[in-house]
Amino acid sequence: MIPAIGVGGCAGKLSILDPAGPAAGATALLWWVMLAGATASFLLVVALVAVAFLRPGIGAGIPPRRWLVWGGLAFPGTVLAALLVFALATGERLLPHPGSGATVVEAVPEQWAWTFRYAGGRETRDILHLPAGRPVDVRVIGTDVIHSFWVPRLGGKVDAIPGHVNTIRLRADRPGRYGGVCSEFCGTGHTSMTFTAVAHEAGAFEEAVSAASGTSLEGTR
Amino acid sequence: MSDAARPLVSGGAAPRDTDTPEDLTPAQRDLARIWETPPGWGRLAAVNHTVLGRRFIVAAFVFFAIGGVLAMLIRAQLASPRSAFVGPELYNQIFTMHGTVMMFLFAIPMFEGLAIYLLPKMLGARDFAFPRLTAFGFWCYVLGGTILVAAMLLGIAPDSGWFMYTPLSSGRHSPGINADIWLLGVTFVEISAIAAAVEFTVSILKFRAPGMSLSRMPLFGWYVLVTAGMMLVGFPPLILGSVLLEAERVLDLPFFDPARGGDALLWQHLFWLFGHPEVYIIFLPAAGLVSTILPVLVRREILGYAAIVVSITVMGFLSFGLWVHHMFTVGIPHLAQAFFSAASVLVAIPTSVQIFLWIGTMMAGRPSFSVPMLYLVGFFVVFVCGGLTGVMLAIVPFDWQVHDTHFVVAHMHYVLVGGFIFPMLAAAYYYLPHVTGREPLYGVGKLAFWLIFVGFNLTFLIMHLTGLLGMPRRYASFPTGYGWDWPNLISSVGGFITTAGFALFAIDMLFQLRFGRRTKPDPWGAETLEWAMPLRPRAYAFASLPTVSSRTPLRDAPGLGAALERGEGHLATPRNRWQETLVVDMASGEPEHIAILPRPTILPLLTALAIAGIVLALLFKLFWLAPAAAAAMVVLLLLWSRDAGQRQDHGLLDAGRGLALPLHAEVARPASWWGVVFLLAADATAFASLVFGALFLWLVAPGWPGPEVVPLPPAKALALAAAVLAAAVAGRAAVAALRRSVPAAALALWAAAVAEAAALGLALWLMLADVPAPTSHASLAMTAAFLAFVALHAGIGAVLAALGVWRCVAGYVSVRRAADLRIGVLWHDYTAATALLSLVFLAALPWLVPLRSLARP
Partner-chain contact B363 A58, CB within 8 Å = yes
The pLDDT assigned to A220 comes to: 39
SS3 call for A103: strand
Tell me which chain B residues have a C-beta less than 8 angstroms from the C-beta of A90.
397
Average pLDDT over residues B701-718: 83
Task: Tell me which amino acid residue A195 is.
Answer: F
Nearest-angstrom CA–CA distance, B750 and A214: 78
- Which residues lie below 8 Å from residue B246, measured CB to CB, with a gap of 6+? B180, B183, B184, B187, B618
Q: Strand A136-141 and strand A165-170: pairing?
A: antiparallel
Average pLDDT over residues B797-808: 96
- The answer to whether residue B703 scores a pLDDT higher than 90 is no
Nearest CB to A87: which of B304, B395, B482?
A: B395
Partner-chain contact A34 B395, CB within 8 Å = yes
- Write the CA distances from B51 to B434, B541, B604, integer angstroms: 13, 11, 15
Q: In angstroms, how far apart are the furthest CA atoms of chain A?
A: 79
Partner-chain contact B349 A80, CB within 8 Å = yes
Tell me the nearest-neighbour CA distance from B159 into chain A, angstroms: 8
Partner-chain contact B364 A80, CB within 8 Å = no
Tell me the nearest-neighbour CA distance from B762 into chain A, angstroms: 36
* pLDDT tens for each residue of B5-30: 333 333 333 344 444 555 788 999 99
Tell me the nearest-neighbour CA distance from A168 into chain B, angstroms: 9
Partner-chain contact B304 A67, CB within 8 Å = yes
Tell me which chain B residues have a C-beta less than 8 angstroms from the C-beta of A149.
none
Nearest-angstrom CA–CA distance, B199 and B116: 9
CB B522 within 8 A of CB B561: yes
* pLDDT tens for each residue of B837-847: 999 999 988 78
Tell me which chain A residues have a C-beta less than 8 angstroms from the C-beta of B88.
188-191
Partner-chain contact B348 A76, CB within 8 Å = yes
The pLDDT assigned to B679 comes to: 98
The pLDDT assigned to B9 comes to: 36
Closest chain A residue to B260, measured at CA: A163
SS3 call for A117: strand
The separation between the first and the last C-alpha atoms of chain B, rounded to the nearest angstrom, is 72
Bridge partners of A107? Answer: A116, A140
Tell me the nearest-neighbour CA distance from A59 into chain B, angstroms: 4
Partner-chain contact A42 B311, CB within 8 Å = no
Q: Which of A77-91, B351-365, B776-790 has the lowest mean pLDDT?
A: A77-91
Partner-chain contact A67 B357, CB within 8 Å = yes
Closest chain A residue to B169, measured at CA: A145
Task: Tell me which amino acid residue B24 is.
Answer: L
Q: Which of B148-157, B451-460, B574-583, B702-711 has the lowest mean pLDDT?
A: B702-711
Tell me which chain B residues have a C-beta less than 8 angstroms from the C-beta of A77.
349
Give the pLDDT band of residue B855 (cuts 50, 70, 90).
low
Helix, strand, coil % (nearest 5) of chain A?
40, 25, 35
Average pLDDT over residues B235-246: 97
- Could you tell me the sign of the dihedral formed by the alpha carbons of A55, A57, A61, A62, in that order? positive
The pLDDT assigned to B22 comes to: 56
The pLDDT assigned to B230 comes to: 97
Tell me the nearest-neighbour CA distance from A128 into chain B, angstroms: 18
- The answer to whether residue B304 scores a pLDDT higher than 50 is yes
Helix, strand, coil % (nearest 5) of chain B?
70, 5, 30
Tell me which chain B residues have a C-beta less than 8 angstroms from the C-beta of A190.
88, 472, 474-476
What is the enclosing helix (H) or strand (E) of B672? helix B671-700
DSSP string of B83-126, one letter each residue: --SS-HHHHHHHHHHHHHIIIIIIIHHHHHHHHHHHHHHHHT-S
CB A132 within 8 A of CB A175: yes
The CA R_g of chain A, rounded to the nearest whole Å, is: 23
Closest chain A residue to B165, measured at CA: A146
Average pLDDT over residues B305-316: 96
Q: Which residue in B83, B353, B363, B474 has the most chain A C-beta atoms within 10 A of its own C-beta, making it the best mutation to test that interface?
A: B363
Nearest-angstrom CA–CA distance, A93 and B804: 65
Nearest-angstrom CA–CA distance, A190 and B479: 13
Q: Which residue in B96, B329, B334, B411 has the most chain A C-beta atoms within 10 A of its own C-beta, making it the best mutation to test that interface?
A: B329
Tell me the nearest-neighbour CA distance from A206 into chain B, angstroms: 29
Closest chain A residue to B258, measured at CA: A163
The pLDDT assigned to A215 comes to: 53
Tell me which chain B residues have a C-beta less than 8 angstroms from the C-beta of A164.
258, 265, 330-331, 702
Q: What angle do CA B248, B250, B251 make, to 5 degrees?
A: 70
Nearest CB to B330: which of A30, A91, A161?
A: A161
pTM of the entire structure? 0.94
The pLDDT assigned to B701 comes to: 85
CB A27 within 8 A of CB A154: no
Give the pLDDT band of residue B856 (cuts 50, 70, 90).
low
The pLDDT assigned to B846 comes to: 79
CB B387 within 8 A of CB B348: yes
Which of B220, B212, B118 has the alpha carbon at shortest distance from B547? B212
Partner-chain contact B474 A51, CB within 8 Å = no
The pLDDT assigned to A12 comes to: 53
Average pLDDT over residues B581-586: 97
Partner-chain contact B468 A31, CB within 8 Å = yes
The pLDDT assigned to A5 comes to: 36
- Write the CA distances from B518 to B3, B11, B535, integer angstroms: 15, 11, 8
- Which residues lie below 8 Å from residue B730, measured CB to CB, with a gap of 6+? B748, B749, B751, B752, B755, B801, B828
- The answer to whether residue B235 scores a pLDDT higher than 60 is yes
Tell me which chain A residues have a C-beta less than 8 angstroms from the C-beta of B359.
45, 48-49, 52, 67, 71
- The answer to whether residue B109 scores a pLDDT higher than 80 is yes
* pLDDT tens for each residue of B607-647: 999 999 999 999 999 989 999 999 999 999 999 998 888 88
Partner-chain contact B364 A42, CB within 8 Å = no
B194: left (phi over 0), alpha (psi -120 to 50) or beta: alpha
Nearest-angstrom CA–CA distance, B473 and B404: 6
What is the enclosing helix (H) or strand (E) of B474? none
- Which residues lie below 8 Å from residue B448, measured CB to CB, with a gap of 6+? B501, B502, B504, B505, B508
Q: Average per-residue pLDDT in chain B?
A: 93
* pLDDT tens for each residue of B819-834: 999 999 999 999 999 9
- The answer to whether residue B41 scores a pLDDT higher than 80 is yes
* pLDDT tens for each residue of A19-68: 999 999 999 999 999 999 999 999 999 999 999 999 998 999 999 999 99
SS3 call for A115: strand
Tell me which chain B residues have a C-beta less than 8 angstroms from the C-beta of A49.
359, 362, 377, 380-381
The pLDDT assigned to B849 comes to: 72
Q: What share of chain B in percent tops pLDDT 90?
A: 87
Give the pLDDT band of residue A149 (cuts 50, 70, 90).
very high
Average pLDDT over residues B780-807: 96
The pLDDT assigned to B20 comes to: 52
- The answer to whether residue B90 scores a pLDDT higher than 70 is yes
Nearest-angstrom CA–CA distance, A126 and B637: 58
Q: Which residue in B322, B404, B466, B777 has the most chain A C-beta atoms within 10 A of its own C-beta, making it the best mutation to test that interface?
A: B404
Nearest-angstrom CA–CA distance, B361 and B340: 33
CB B151 within 8 A of CB B96: no
DSSP string of B316-349, one letter each residue: HHHGGG-GGGG-TTS---HHHHHHHHHHHHHTHH
Tell me the nearest-neighbour CA distance from B788 into chain A, angstroms: 28
Partner-chain contact A191 B404, CB within 8 Å = no
Burial class (CB in 10 A: 0-12, 13-18, 19+), B72: middle
Torsion angle (degrees, nearest 10) of CA B112, B375, B382, B364: 100
Nearest-angstrom CA–CA distance, B47 and B740: 38
Partner-chain contact B173 A187, CB within 8 Å = yes
Partner-chain contact A31 B398, CB within 8 Å = yes
Closest chain B residue to A13, measured at CA: B482
Average pLDDT over residues B375-383: 97
Nearest-angstrom CA–CA distance, B407 and A150: 15
B124: left (phi over 0), alpha (psi -120 to 50) or beta: left
Nearest-angstrom CA–CA distance, B211 and B222: 16
* pLDDT tens for each residue of A185-200: 999 999 999 999 999 9
Tell me the nearest-neighbour CA distance from B93 into chain A, angstroms: 10
Nearest-angstrom CA–CA distance, B728 and B836: 12
A vs B: CB pairs below 8 A: 269
Nearest-angstrom CA–CA distance, B89 and A98: 43
Partner-chain contact B363 A94, CB within 8 Å = no
* pLDDT tens for each residue of A121-140: 999 999 999 999 999 999 99
